[in-house]
Chain A
Amino acid sequence: MSKRIVSLVIVLVLLLVMAAPTMAQDGPSGELEIFSWWAGDEGPALEALIAKYVELYPDVEVNNATVTGGSGVNARAVLKTRMLGGDPPDSFQVHAGQELIGTWVVADRMEDLTFLYEEEGWMDKFPQGLLDLLSYEGGIWSVPVNIHRSNVMWYVPAKLEEWGIEAPATWDDFLAVCPTIQDAGVTPLVVGENWTVNHLWESVALAELGVDGWNGLWAGEKAWTDEDVVAMWDKFGEILACTNIDVDAATLSWQQATDKVIAGEAAFNVMGDWAAGYMVTTLGLEPGVGFGWVPSPGTAGVFMMLSDSFGLPKDIKNYDAAVAWLKLLGSVEGQDIFNPLKGSIAARLDSDLSLYNAYLQSAAADWQSNEVVGSLAHGAVAPESFSSEFGTVMEIFLNSRSGIAAANAAQAIARQAGIAG
């Protein structure tokens, strides 16, 4: 008797399971897993976007899978184990450029999204330079959500007045005021955990090598052992002497480094413009009053960019829901919900600038007028086989403080990664 009931129940359940996909045909349904490193302070922007998505597609249950860690240091490792284990998330965050192409597209793990760009008429809505970063072998491989600027120097205007200094226009200017600031008992330039040091380095390298020199390193036209590159490393060493690198850098997150500037314990901080998002959204400061900014010394007129994008992995569980997600990401509406909260500018050229704060409006103006280069620390210009090993180069430099040692190591790693000049 009871056996009959059990088998009846099983049959009913099976029928329901089979019927489920056919019942909801008018839109995507089921579960959608979105993988990113936007937790904590960067979380609200993503949550707003997900709220919009759920409003549009109420049948989809969104699983917001985040792995904390600035610049995605931990998330990328988790993502790789999942992909290798055959369990890809439905859509994941990835830096546009070599981090997307060199790691995932080359490995044949992504779907070509050209069809989506054509369907949605996005081809002329994004700047061509950005589309180039997303393209490889005739396909476009992800949807960019935002544009961040890497080479920005932050400070508090009132504090600078108090110390009687101005934001430096070149690194030599900075080195000149460094002792003055130190005498006031303030760290001239604050850095945090390792990747923020790499982040500072790319601003210094861009300033010292210029746009052509910087691009030459990645195009294989310039060797790391060239004289000006070695001299740049030595200049970087002088700049580091004005930081907290030997004090408490390794234990500070980028937010804590920013906090030190706001608290007046440090004068300057070079960080990407997500710092503006943090200062506006989390700390409640007003751009231009609570904090000020200039392009990092020696890089006025150059926009070192990075872009977060979302791709479509192969063999995912919920293709329809993922494509709907990407459609929302690429739309004007999606980008204008996300970016003002995130503290970045929209990747699209037709966004509504009135929604953005004073800093972002200035960044958007620079984005249109400046020369654009890609970031190393955030995956745009070099494959991961180089960019992750760059940490080794940095450690060799930090331990030896020798420009020639760092230059030799960088050249060796570039040769292994196949991008040596």
Chain B
Amino acid sequence: MQVSANRAGNPGRKLLRFTRRINPDRVYAILMILPSVILLAIFVYGFIGQTLWWSLTDWAGLEKNAEKNYIKLDNYKTLFSDITGMRFRQELVNTFFFTLFFVGGCLILGFILAVVLDQNVKGEGLFRTVFLFPMALSFAVTGTIWRWLLNPGGGINALPKMLGADAWNYRWINNRSPYTFNWHEVPLTTTLLIIAVLLFFIFRQIWRRKYLATIYLGVPMALLFLWMWSDWVSWDDTQAMHGTFNWQDVPRYVVAVIVIGFVLYMVSLLWHGKRRAALILGIPTAVVLLWYAAGGTDNFPNVEFPEAYGFNIALVGVIIAAVWQMSGYTMAMYLAGIRGVPEELREAARVDGCSEWQVYMRIVLPMLRPITLSAAIVLGHISLKIFDLIFAMAGIDHWPVSVPGVQVYYTMFRSNKFAVGSAIAIVLLIMVASVVIPYLITSLRAEHEL
């Protein structure tokens, strides 16, 4: 048999090779996967594509074959800059704070519960179950229960009555004000104190010849100082309230964060002697900086009037309910993790003179990092797309605690604006994907390396 004939592509041979590759195992494997691949392609990715397309149209109304005209990114522009998108912007801010406190609260509370249960308490099994029980409920049930508990006229507010005291009248989720504080009532020394602590660490790092760490500490310190300084200079009594920010400043904030991130990365590259990479990175950084200095962000589609947003105090009630439900989950994760830390390691540390506190902070906690990360991802994507808890606790009209998921429903099935609702859904998808996809990539890579 000549090799050249083979190369020329004798069809018969090719077919033979092909059929040889299709052994029954392969066929079965493909057949087994095929249904789910097809179903996923249609019911997940197909519909994501359809939603994306709808979000670029002007579809509104319930006609049977409704006219859908392509209007580019107008729906997104409405959401981010038109006065009618105000609710959506408030919801983005709400989601940010809810995610921050919900994930943080669950991790901290879960860890504490796990450590407590790890002390060989009597009836550990019972407590474990008790702490885990809320997770067995759906968010709709949790929301209804906490709606009653946090009702200003009863529930938790009525507790002092049992002791003969006056009932509280805290408003919980009915509170409409954002968290504010008067900067000039907070002693200026607080900031100065933080700056002093940072300075101490900076000098310590310089002493240790860790110059990179110096920069990492120095940048936030400088920013803090500038912020304090500008606040001091521009202070007038009418604008003494802080704790909120103006939406018009958001593009500037975003660009500033990007530039600072790039600069820090450049410095670290230079530090490791990668000059060319630093130079390559420096060019776009300089361009962005120049564009920013030339007022590039002013041309962004932005809101017409100043809009103040901040942390709505009403969210506290929702965060309590959500943490109550999900901290059992982090407890279970951490407990499993703690039990996975070899007893020998702890013993060795104790022999070396570690206190129990140090054992947890220096030995156990670092070994739990993968667990913290995956718990944070799971909780984070739950909180970004949360709907049922808010729906049950506050309904869909209560702005102070509303989230984008609620508004998808509102926009589509109240206002009949299906295109705008799709646009919100796509924004939600992007937010969740930006949390989940990096995690999936790193965990897949880690599996390959193993």
Contacts and interface: CB of A to CB of B under 8 A. Distances in A.
A231 B63 CA distance: 39
A80 B147 contact: no
Interface in B379-431: 394-400, 409-410, 413-417
B84 A389 contact: yes
Contacts of B413: 76-77, 80-81
27 contacts: A73-B397, A76-B413, A80-B62, A103-B416, A106-B63, A107-B61, A107-B64, A193-B395, A246-B175, A247-B169, A250-B395, A251-B147, A251-B151, A384-B415, A385-B415, A385-B416, A385-B417, A388-B414, A388-B415, A391-B414, A392-B87, A396-B83, A399-B399, A399-B400, A409-B83, A409-B84, A412-B84
Interface string A70-113: 00010011001101100000000000000000011011110000
Given A248-B151, A249-B174, A409 B86 contact: yes
Contacts of B87: 392, 395
A182 interface: no
B337 interface: no
A399 B175 CA distance: 11
B82 A412 contact: yes
B153 A248 contact: yes
Secondary structure call for the B interface = loop
B60 interface: yes
A83 B62 contact: yes
A236 to B, nearest CB: 16
Given A246-B176, A248-B174, A250-B174, A194 B398 contact: yes
Contact of A77 (B64, B176, B305, B414): B414
Can you list the 5 inter-chain pairs with the closest CB atoms, starting with the nearest?
A194-B397, A77-B413, A388-B414, A395-B399, A107-B62
Contacts of B415: 384-385, 388-389
Contacts of B396: 73
B151 A396 contact: no
B282 interface: no
Nearest to B401: A250
Nearest to B175: A246
Given A251-B151, A391-B397, A385 B60 contact: yes
A346 B81 CA distance: 47
Contacts of B153: 248, 251
Interface in B57-84: 60-64, 66, 82-84
A408 interface: yes
Contact of A399 (B84, B147, B176): B176
B166 to A, nearest CB: 13
A140 interface: no
A67 to B, nearest CB: 12
Interface string A379-400: 0000011001101100110110
A416 interface: yes
A194 B174 contact: no
A271 B276 CA distance: 73
Given A248-B151, A385-B415, A412-B82, 18 more contacts: A73-B414, A76-B414, A77-B409, A103-B416, A107-B63, A108-B64, A193-B397, A194-B398, A248-B152, A248-B171, A251-B153, A384-B415, A391-B414, A395-B397, A395-B399, A396-B83, A399-B176, A409-B84
A194 B400 CA distance: 12
Interface string B251-281: 0000000000000000000000000000000
A130 interface: no
